[in-house]
């Protein structure tokens, strides 16, 4: 397993990960699946919001696969963040 420095300067494992990401433009959360790019075949891949198609960043290290959340998952996401 290899590591690299991410955009924030923190060490990041190359292994696959899943997370919820919030679009910088429309503010909707979406599920993101990232996978390490194969050495020697690296291309810039873009983190595109599945709702509004806004580009939320890019990487030469990972490939992004983004999915919309169900209305129930979105409601739960915002309910968990109420103060």
The domain tally of the chain equals: 1
What tens digit of pLDDT does each residue of 2-47 get?
A: 455 666 776 655 444 568 888 999 988 899 988 888 888 889 999 9
User: Is residue 71, in this structure, part of any structural domain at all?
Assistant: yes
Q: Which domain holds residue 73?
A: 15-80
In-domain check, residue 43: yes
Q: Is residue 64 domain-resident?
A: yes
The predicted structure's pLDDT at residue 63: 92
1, 15, 28, 30, 36 from 4: Cα distances, Å: 10, 11, 28, 24, 11
Answer yes or no: is pLDDT of 66 > 50.
Answer: yes
Q: What confidence score (pLDDT) does residue 75 get?
A: 84
Residue 1 counted as domain residue: no
Sign, CA dihedral 65-18-11-8, equals: positive
Mean pLDDT along residues 49-78: 91
Task: Name the residue with higher pLDDT: 73 or 59.
Answer: 59
Quick one: CA dihedral 28, 81, 14, 12, positive or negative? positive
| 59 is a domain residue | yes
């Amino acid at each position: 397993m290899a590591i690299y420095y991410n955009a924030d300067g923190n060490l990041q494992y190359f292994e696959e990960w899943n997370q919820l990401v919030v679009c910088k433009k429309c503010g909707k959360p979406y599920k993101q699946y990232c996978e390490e790019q194969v050495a020697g075949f690296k291309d810039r891949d873009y983190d595109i919001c599945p709702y509004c198609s806004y580009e939320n960043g890019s990487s030469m290290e990972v490939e992004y696969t983004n999915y919309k959340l169900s209305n129930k998952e979105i409601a739960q996401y915002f309910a968990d963040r109420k103060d």
